[in-house]
Structure 1
């Protein structure tokens, strides 16, 4: 089965850039020059280390789940400080991300976990297609295999 990559909503990035606050929480956002491989959660590209500035803020990864969850689970995420466009090649995993592998968490409605899988870069698209092909999977969360941070949501199509 196919899948669709879902970055954070563009309105979230715009709000953070305009207010320097985390949407829904009001926590201060912070700005710094990227160190290491920090992916932007909107364009799903690398924020170039030592060159580009990132904005870090508190975000609930379940905010975009098929049904809005009652209990938030916030954590830190990044976007480019500069304007960027949402990821467009939604039928495949972003080519510059996942170099150290990813953790795929498959869920059904109600935030009920079904399976977690640690996947190396070459197998990401295949693993996403397999998980999204399961009839009991409503969505998959992609997280960094090294830091555990939320990267994006994936929906079956």
Structure 2
């Protein structure tokens, strides 16, 4: 079986926003206060607690614009948080959700058709590993199964 690694939003992407940078649309992020009802930060991979400030911004987790470079809303703590360590197992934040959308992407950042599927948290590792067994898949994105928002990335890992 393919070994996998979950990775949060890159630290440099979050630092860009925290230092006053603009989002994927060239806009300043929106500031909000969490009600504690499921505001997942893509950098620390933890929910923003009730009463804590967070940002909403457009995020494009791809190196360049192209037809498959999906851009969408994500949440980020308003102040710097520790980036989640890369992990071989499903991060706790993802275990709390009912289901996730996973999609495989090629080395040139295009969706590999036939890889998209909705999976429950208990099957996330197994299904992502199965998708990554395909030689045409370079990595997998985990997205919200209801809103399609980017959550994190899964890559092949060394055994």
TM-score by length of 2: 0.84
Which structure dedicates a bigger proportion of its chain to strand? 1
In the other structure, the counterpart of 1:2 is 3
Rounded Cα–Cα distance in structure 1 between residues aligned with 2:106 and 2:70: 16
Is contact 1:59–1:74 with CA below 8 Å preserved after alignment?
A: yes
Per the TM alignment, residue 12 of structure 1 is displaced from its structure 2 partner at its CA by 1.4
Distance (Å, rounded) in 2 between the aligned partners of 1:102 and 1:152: 11
Following TM superposition, by how much is the alpha carbon of 1:2 offset from its aligned partner in structure 2, in angstroms?
Answer: 0.8
CA contact (8 A) 1:46 1:97 kept: no
Q: TM-score, normalised by structure 1?
A: 0.85
Which residue is 1:30 aligned to?
Answer: 30
Q: Secondary structure at the match of 2:93?
A: coil
User: What's the CA shift for 1:89?
Assistant: 4.3
Alpha-carbon distance between aligned partners in 2 of 1:69 and 1:93, rounded to the nearest angstrom: 29
Q: Unpaired segments of 5 or more residues in structure 1?
A: none
Structure 1 residues 13-39: Cα deviation after superposition (integer angstroms, max 9, x where no partner): 1121121521x5421211101243121
Distance 1:4 1:129 in 2: 10
Task: List aligned pairs for 1:78-117, cutoff 5 A.
Answer: 78-98=75-95, 99-110=97-108, 111-114=110-113, 115-117=115-117
CA drift of 1:4 comes to: 1.5
Written as runs of structure 1 = structure 2, the 5 A alignment for 1:134-149 is 134-149=134-149
Alignment deviations for residues 44-79 of structure 1 (CA, whole Å, 9 cap, x no partner) = 11112x32221111111323xxxx554543211111
Unmatched 5+ residue regions in structure 2? none
TM superposition shift of 1:151:
0.5
Count of equivalent residues: 151
How many Å separate the matches in 2 of 1:58 and 1:103? 19
In 2, distance between residues paired with 1:51 and 1:122?
A: 30
RMSD: 1.9
Quote the Cα distance in structure 1 between the aligned partners of 2:40 and 2:33: 13
